[in-house]
Homo-oligomer: A and B are copies of this chain.
Amino acid sequence: MSTLKSRLRGQSKRITGPRAAILEILRKHPHPLANKEIFSEMPAGHCDLATIYRSMHLLERMGMVKRFDFGDGVARFELVGENDDGHHHHLVCIRCSEVVEVDECFPEEIEREIAAKNRFKGVTHKLEFFGICPDCQ
């Protein structure tokens, strides 16, 4: 949370109730959360949904959260750890939507080859796995 404060201050952004609440909610959830889910986790006098959308953009720009796309038209966010760029992938059950974090990543050498072959710079990737979880089989 101190990280949040210093980073926000560094950009003359303010520490507000909604922002702190959002980070608190993300901190206690191990999986990517949709804005609506964050919204419904909001304690009591919850804030406006638009505020959550705005906050997520801010936090994403600051590199404090990472956006994930499971292809269902809903953006989900995860807190990014201290010394971590948040780059990782997921295995999602197409039946129940259970999400498992995946440690494996696309091989760097191959990515470099792809970049070189096409003369692209700054190449990254988005990768998510889909399947049927043990409970849904």
Contact = CB atoms under 8 A, between A and B. Distances in A.
A15 interface: no
Given A125-B128, A127-B127, A130-B123, A91 B71 contact: no
A118 B106 contact: no
Contact of A104 (B114, B119, B127): B114
A131 B127 contact: no
As for how many copies of this chain the complex holds, the number is: 2
Interface residues of A, number: 33
Contacts of A102: 114
A131 B123 contact: yes
Contact of A124 (B93, B110, B124, B129): B129
B114 A120 contact: no
B129 A114 contact: yes
13 contacts: A91-B114, A91-B123, A93-B120, A100-B120, A104-B114, A120-B133, A121-B137, A122-B131, A122-B132, A123-B130, A123-B131, A125-B129, A126-B130
